[in-house]
Amino acid sequence: MTDADRARRIFGLETEYGVQHWNPEGRPLSPEEVVRYLFRPVVEWGHSSNVFVSNGSRLYLDVGSHPEYATAECSTLDELIASDAAGDLILHDLVTRAQERMAADGIGGRIHLYRNNADSSGSSYGSHENYLLRRRTEYRRLTEALVPFLVSRQILVGAGRVVPAGTWPEGDGAAHFAFSQRADFVQDGVSSSTTRSRPIINTRDEPHADASEYRRLHVIVGDTSLSEHTHLLRFGATDLMLRMIEAGFPLGDRVLAHPTLAVRQISHDLTGTARVALRDGDASALELQEHYLERARAFVAAEGAHHERVEEILTLWEDVIEAVRTGDRSRIEDRIDWAIKLRMLEDYRARQDLDWGSARLAQLDLAFHDIDPDRGLFRLLLRRGAAARLLPEDAGRLAVDAAPPTTRARVRADFIARARQRGLGYAVDWTTLKLTDHPLHAIAAKDPFDASSDAVDRLFERIG
C-alpha cells in the first residue's frame, strides 16, 4: 500500500429496499411475488439472484424479500454517492421491466420500491455503512469511542419519520416527527448479529480484503439517505471520527451508559437537548456533536485536510448543529434529509390543518422515499430545486456502467465485461475472479486499492 493509499479509505454502502405492490383493481401481490418478477431478468443472465453488475457493485435478494444493492468499493465520497445513485437507477429499471411482464400476465397495479428503513407492519430493514480499517487499530477502543458519535449523529443525518401514536411511551404517546427511522429498532450497542439483535456496530470480522492487514467496520444504525449532502455528511464526518481515533487524537471520555436507550431518546427529541446518561455524567446530542465537531476542526487544523471536501463537511456539520439548536432550519432544509422531509410535511399540515396522527401524513412520509423518478416526493423536490444536488445530475447514470476508477472494483468490472463479451461463464465475489471453465486461472484481488487490470489482461491472454 502506497503513501497515497494511506490517505484514502475504502467506503461502501449496502441499501435494502422496501417493496410494495399497489393494485386498486385486484389483489396486490405479496413482496415475495413481486421480487420474483423483479429478479427474473437478473436470474436469466446471472443464473442467480445474487450477482455482481457491470459497475462492480453487488445486487441481490436479501432475507425478507428485500432487494439489496451494495456499492462497489469507493475511495472518495463522490464515487460513493454516484455508485449508490446508480443502484436506484438499476432497481428502477428492473421495476419497469417487471411491470411489463406483470401486465403481459394480466396483473395490474404498480410496484413501489422505497429507500427507507421501516414499514407499516413494524419491520425494519437496513442501510449498512462499511469503512476499511487497518488491522493494527485496537477495535474495542475504536468502537467505544465511536458509539456515542453514532448515537448522536442522527440529529445530523437521520431520514426523519412520522411516528404513530403510542410508539414512544416515554413521551406523551402522541404522534410526532422524529429524527430517525432506524433508532426504535436498535437492540444492542456492539454485536456480531444483524437480524436477531440489531446493534449499532456489527463486529463480524469480514474484511473482504487481506485479513492480516485490514478489517471492516460495519455500521448498521444509520438511516437510508436520499440527499447527496446527507451522504456527504454521514460518511465524511464518520471518516473524520475514525481518523481521529486511529491517530490517537484526544476525544475525551464520552462513553454512553445505555446506548440503545440513548439512541431512542435522541431520535424523539427534535430540540437535541434530551439528556442521555454517560458513564460519567450526562450530555445532550447537541453537546456531543458540538464536542466532536470542535475536535474534528482541531484535528484538521493540526493534520491538514485529507481530501477537497473536508471543509465543506465541517461547514455542513456546523450548519446542522446550529439549525437544531435554534430551530431555524432554513440553511439545511434543502440539503439534510430529515429537514427536507419536515419542511414538506409541515407545509402540508398547515395547508390541510392536520395533526401528526393523520394517515395522509404517513402516506406522504412513505412516498417521500419512493425511488420512482416521476412519483417519489424527494425526486419531485429535487427536480423543482427544493432539494439541492452535490454532484452533476448525470453522475448516477454514468456510474451504472462505470466502476469507481480508483479501487479494485474497476478490475472486477473489467473482468465481468470481458467474460460476458466472450460468452464465458464466470464467478466473482469481493476478492476472487474466475472463469468457471478455467478454474486454475483464478485471480485473487485482496488489495482493495489495486485498480490495475494487469492480472485480467494476462488471464485472457492465456486462454486465447
Q: Average of pLDDT values for 363-371?
A: 97
| Predicted pLDDT at 404 | 98
Residues found in the chain: 464
| Predicted pLDDT at 119 | 83
At residue 20's C-alpha, the angle toward residues 378 and 84, to 5°, is 45
Q: Where are the domains of the chain?
A: 137-369, 408-463
Consult the annotation and say whether 430 binds a ligand: yes
> What is the spatial distance between Cα 351 and Cα 205, in angstroms, rounded to a whole number?
51
Q: What is the pTM of this model?
A: 0.96
Consult the annotation and say whether 71 binds a ligand: yes
More confident residue, 170 or 94: 94
Question: Alpha helix (H) ranges present in 21-138?
Answer: 31-38, 40-46, 77-104
Mean pLDDT (the chain) is 94
Interstrand relation of 199-202 and 188-191 (parallel, antiparallel or unpaired): parallel
> What's the number of CA atoms in the CB half-sphere (13 Å) around residue 396?
17
At residue 184's C-alpha, the angle toward residues 179 and 189, to 5°, is 105
Task: Give the per-residue SS3 of 443-455.
Answer: EECCCCCCCCCHH
| Predicted pLDDT at 1 | 46
Consult the annotation and say whether 60 binds a ligand: yes
Consult the annotation and say whether 58 binds a ligand: yes
| Predicted pLDDT at 463 | 87
62 catalytic residue (yes or no): yes
| Predicted pLDDT at 244 | 97
Indicate if the pLDDT at residue 2 is higher than 70: no
Distances in Å between the Cα of 208 and the Cα atoms of 199, 341, 418 are 21, 36, 23
- Which residue's entry shows cell 492480516? 212
By mean pLDDT, which of 145-149, 194-198, 325-329, 387-391 is the weakest? 194-198
> What is the spatial distance between Cα 25 and Cα 23, in angstroms, rounded to a whole number?
5
> What is the spatial distance between Cα 307 and Cα 310, in angstroms, rounded to a whole number?
6
Name the active-site residue from 3, 5, 62, 223.
62
- 83, 132, 129: which is closest to 222 by C-alpha? 129
Asked if 201 and 219 count as a contact pair (C-beta separation under 8 A), the reply is yes
Long-range pairs of 172-175 with CB within 8 A, sequence gap ≥ 24? 174/356, 174/357, 175/355, 175/356, 175/357
